[in-house]
Structure 1
Amino acid sequence: MARARASVMATGADRASNTTKSFPRPFILRKWRGATALIIALIWEIPFQKLDRARRTGRCEGQRTCNPVRLSSIFPKFSPFGPDRSESMPLARRQLVIASALTALLGLAGCDSPPEQVAQAPAAPPPAVSVVKVEVQDLRPSVSFTGRVTALDRVDLRARIDGFLEQRNFTEGQDVKSGDLLFVIEKAPYEARVASARGAVETAQARLDRTEIEYERQATLVKKDVAARSKLDDATAARDEARGDLNRLKAELQQAELQLSYTDIRAPISGRIGRSLISPGNFVSPSSGTLATIVSQDPIDVVFPISQREILKFREESGSAGKAEDLAVYLQFGKGDRYSHTGRINFMDVSVNAGTDTVEVRASFPNPERLLVDGQLVTAVVESDKPQPSLVVPQVAIQIDQTGPFVLVVNSENKIEVRRVEPGVSSGMLLVIKKGLQAGDLVVTEGVQKVRPGQAVQATVIMPEA
C-alpha cells in the first residue's frame, strides 16, 4: 500500500515538474487527456467511502444501494487504485492521491501554449502636460517697492491751558473740517480773569485821562509864566506813567482773553479724527499729552525707498530717460488687488541714506473713498510711461537650478527640451524673457515633475493668466 502511494505521488510530482518545460502541442494534448481521465476516476471513487464503511459495520444487509457499480470494475485501467485496491484503500490516502493529481493538472496548465504565443502588454501612453505659447505683448516695464502710506498733514490736539475738560463735540473716527469745535475746557476761571483785566484797563484809562488834563493845565500856566516849570514836569511824568500802566493792563487783558480762547479746542486742519484719549471730566494741562489726532485724507502720500542701482536698471529696461514725475505709480494691497487711482511722484530726496543706500521717494494719490489709511503698508509699482514689445511667459514656467533659470519646451517632435533663459521684469503673473526663447515656443507650465529632457509628451495648449 505504501509503495502504491509513493508511486502515485511520484507520478504527480514528475508531471508537475515537467510542466515547466516546453513540449510540442500534440504531447500536451495527450497529457491533458490522461489527466482528465485520472480526475474522473478519482471523483467517481470518492462517493464509495461511506459504502465501504457501511459494509464493514454490517449496515448494508438486504439493501440494493450497497452494491453500486464502480468505475474500477468497468474501466480497471482508469482506476488509480486498481480493481481491488480502491476498495480497501483508506480515505486519507485517497485524498492524498487526489491532491497530487490536482497539483499535476495545474502544472500542465502552464504548458498549454508556448511562451512565444503570450500576448505582450500595451505600452504606456506619453505623459500629458500643459503648455503656453510664448507671445509678444506690449508691456510697460515696472518695478515694485514696499511703501508706507503717510498722511500729508497730521496734527496732535493738546490742551494749552489748565482746567477740567467739559465737552467732547465729535464722534471718534469721523471726518472733521478746519475750525470745528472739538473739545471745551471749563471757561469760568478764565472769564473771571478777563473781567478783572478789563476793569483794570478801564481804571488805568481814567487815570491817564486825568493826568492828560493836569498836563495841559500846567503847560498853559507855564506859558503865561503863572506856574513854575517844575509843576509842568511833574504833570508830564504822571501822564507818561499812567499811559504805561494802561498799556500793561491792556496786555494783561489780551493775555486773559487769549487764555479764554484756549478753552475751545478747534480742528486746525480738515481730515479724520481718531480716538479720544481723555474723557470729559478729567483735569487736563499742556503736560497731559495728546487728546486726539487728526490726519488729512485726500490727497494722501506713499513713501518708499529705492536704490540708485534699481533706478538705473529700470531706466535701462524701460528706455525712459525722462523725469521721475512722468512715471505712473500704482498701489497693490495684500491680496494683489490694485488700487483704482494712479499716483504721481512729487518728491525725491536730495541725499542718499548712508545706512541703506536708498533714496526716499514720495508719490501722491487721491483718496476719495478713504481706502488708504495713514501708516498702512502697501506695494508701490512704478511703471514706465511708454509700452515696450516683450516676450512673456507665465512665472510658474520658470525653473531654477545651480546653473540658473530655465524652462521646459515642447519641440516640433513633441519632445521635452531644456532652454536656458534670461528673465527680465515681471508684469502681474507674467515674466519678461530677454534671451532664450522665441515667439511661438511651447513652454511647459503644468506637469513639469513627470517629464524629463528628450521624453515624448502629449501637450495641451492653454491660455496664460494675465
Structure 2
Amino acid sequence: MRYVPGLTSQNRIRALLRSLPLMGVVLLAACGEKEQAQQAPAAPPAVGVMAVAMKAINPTAGFTGRVQAVDKVDVLARINGFLDKRLFTEGQHVNVGDQLFVIEQPPYQAQLDQKQAELESAMAAQKNTAVQLQRAIQLVKTNNIPQATLDQRQAEDTMAKSVILEAQAALEQAQINFAYTSIKAPIAGRIGQSTFTVGSYVTPQSGTLATIVSQDPIYVTFPVAQRIVTEYRRKNPEPRATDKIAVKLQLADGSEYDHVGKIDFVDVEVDRGTDTVLVRASFDNPDGVLVDGQFVNVSIELGESQMGISIPQTAIQLDQAGAYVFVVTSDNKVELRRIKTQTGASGESTVLEGLKEGEKIVVDGIQKVRPGQPVTPTDVQPAIKS
C-alpha cells in the first residue's frame, strides 16, 4: 500500500483492512477467468467426408510394368577409320536411311579406284586370250599348230576369265567398304548420345557409336500371377481372348496415359521363382511420352462391370494390421474401420469388405483425426487422379 503523509500508523492499518475485501474480489475474478480459459473445450476439427455409394465397377488388376522399345539398335562401325563427320543432334528423331556418321573416305575411294582399274586390266587381258583362242581353233583345223597349243590357249582364256571374276569380287568388296564409310540409320526413332567425337579412330571392335530407340508404337511388359492367367483363361476359353482386354497405364505423376493398349503376347513359360507369366501390351506413343526402360503402373480390366463400392485410394490408410479408413458415425465421431480392397482404376480401390452404402468416410483432413474424436464433417467430392 502506498505511503500517505499525515496518516498515523493506526489510520493506515484501518485503511488496509478496508481495502482487503476489494482486493479479494479482484483476485477471485482473475482466477475464475483463468480457470474458464483452461477448461474451454477445443472446437472439433473440420474434415471432408464423402458418402459411400454403389456404382458399376469393372473388375481390374494392377501390376508394375516396364516400357520396352519395339526396336532398339546399337550403331556400330563396320570398317576402320577416323570419324570425319557427325550429322545428327543427340536426342533427335531420325528416319530410316538418315546419314549419321561419315568415316574418312579418301583411303576407301582410292581402294575402289584401284579395284576398278584391276578389273578393267583383267577384262583387257581376257580379250587378248579370247582372240588367241579363236586363232588357234582356226589353225588347228589346217594342221598349222598342234592340238597341244590349242589346249594351252583354252587354258589361258579360262584363267583370264577367272581373273575377271576375282577382280569383280574385289571391286564389289571395295564398293561395300566405301559404302560403309557412310553410316546410316537402320530404323526410325530417337538417337541417343554419341560415344565418339569427330576425329576418333573407330573399328568394328570399338563398340556402340550411338543407340537408336524406336518410339511409336511401344511395348509395356509386366508380370502377371499364374493364378490370374489361369482364372481368366477358364472364364474366357475362346481363342485370342486377350485381344478384348483393355490395358491402361498410370504414369509416375499419377496421371493416366491417354492411349489404351492391347495385349499382343503372353509368354509360353512361367517364371519358377515368382510363379508369374510375362505379358506384353502394345501402345501408340505419338508424342513420345513413354520412354524405353520407364516404370509405369498397369491396370487391366478382367471382365464385365459389376455393382460395388469404390473409394479414393487417398482415403485408405495402412498399418501393420492392414488397410483401414476413418468412418464418421451419426453422432459425428470418428471410427476406425478395417477394410479389404483390391486395386481399381483411375486412382480408386474397390472395397470387398468393411463398408456399407451410405456410410461416410474421411477423405480430407485425415491427419487431424483419431478414433473416437468428435469432428465437424463437410461433404466433399474428392478429386481422383485420372
Query: Could you say which TM-score interval applies, normalised by the shorter chain?
Result: 0.7 to 0.9
Partner AA of 1:202 in structure 2: E
Classify the secondary structure of the residue corresponding to 1:350. Answer: strand
User: Normalised by the size of structure 2, how large is the TM-score?
Assistant: 0.81
Residue 210 of structure 1 is matched in structure 2 by: 128
Classify the secondary structure of the residue corresponding to 1:146. Answer: strand
1-structure distance, mates of 2:322, 2:101: 64
Q: Tell me whether 96-105 or 169-178 shows the greater mean CA deviation.
A: 96-105
Classify the secondary structure of the residue corresponding to 1:286. Answer: coil
Q: CA separation of 1:108/1:306 partners in 2, compared to 1, >3 Å: closer, same or farther?
A: closer
Residue 50 of structure 1 is matched in structure 2 by: 6
Classify the secondary structure of the residue corresponding to 1:241. Answer: helix
The answer on 1:243 being equivalent to 2:161 is yes
Q: CA separation of 1:342/1:259 partners in 2, compared to 1, >3 Å: closer, same or farther?
A: same
Partner AA of 1:394 in structure 2: P
Contact 2:299 2:345 in 1 (8 A): no
Residue 287 of structure 2 is matched in structure 1 by: 369
Structure 1 segment 392-431 matched on structure 2, within 5 A = 392-398=310-316, 405-411=323-329, 419-431=337-349
Contact 2:61 2:344 in 1 (8 A): yes
Q: CA separation of 1:224/1:403 partners in 2, compared to 1, >3 Å: closer, same or farther?
A: same
1-structure distance, mates of 2:292, 2:324: 42
Residue 333 of structure 1 is matched in structure 2 by: 251
Classify the secondary structure of the residue corresponding to 1:269. Answer: coil
Deviation of 1:129 (Å): 5.0
Where relative contact order (Cα < 8 A, 6+ residues apart) is larger, the structure is 2
Residue 297 of structure 1 is matched in structure 2 by: 215
Any idea what the Cα deviations from partners look like across 1:27-78, whole Å, max 9, x if unmatched? xxxxxxxxxxxxxxxxxxx97x627xxxxxxxxxxxxxxxxxxxxxxxxxxx
Which one of 89, 94, 106 corresponds to residue 171 of structure 1? 89
The answer on 1:133 being equivalent to 2:51 is yes
Classify the secondary structure of the residue corresponding to 1:219. Answer: helix
Contact 2:256 2:346 in 1 (8 A): no
More helix by proportion, 1 or 2? 1
Residue 437 of structure 1 is matched in structure 2 by: 355
Structure 1 segment 57-456 matched on structure 2, within 5 A = 91=9, 95-96=12-13, 98-99=15-16, 102-103=19-20, 130-311=48-229, 315=232, 323-384=241-302, 386-398=304-316, 405-411=323-329, 419-445=337-363, 450=369, 452=371
2-structure distance, mates of 1:167, 1:403: 64
Q: CA separation of 1:177/1:131 partners in 2, compared to 1, >3 Å: closer, same or farther?
A: closer
Any idea what the Cα deviations from partners look like across 1:319-372, whole Å, max 9, x if unmatched? 777722321122222210112111111112111223343322222111111222
Classify the secondary structure of the residue corresponding to 2:211. Answer: strand
2-structure distance, mates of 1:155, 1:125: 65
Contact 1:326 1:385 in 2 (8 A): no
Deviation of 1:194 (Å): 1.7
Q: What count of residue pairs does the alignment treat as equivalent?
A: 370
1-structure distance, mates of 2:25, 2:85: 108
Gapped regions of structure 1 (runs ≥ 5): 1-45, 52-89, 112-118
Classify the secondary structure of the residue corresponding to 2:205. Answer: helix
2-structure distance, mates of 1:283, 1:458: 75
User: Normalised by the size of structure 1, how large is the TM-score?
Assistant: 0.68
1-structure distance, mates of 2:22, 2:102: 111
Classify the secondary structure of the residue corresponding to 1:351. Answer: strand
Sequence identity, in percent? 41
2-structure distance, mates of 1:331, 1:135: 26
Q: Tell me whether 302-311 or 333-342 shows the greater mean CA deviation.
A: 302-311
Deviation of 1:135 (Å): 0.6
Contact 1:320 1:384 in 2 (8 A): no
Partner AA of 1:281 in structure 2: G
Structure 1 segment 15-30 matched on structure 2, within 5 A = none
1-structure distance, mates of 2:312, 2:377: 16
Contact 1:161 1:259 in 2 (8 A): yes
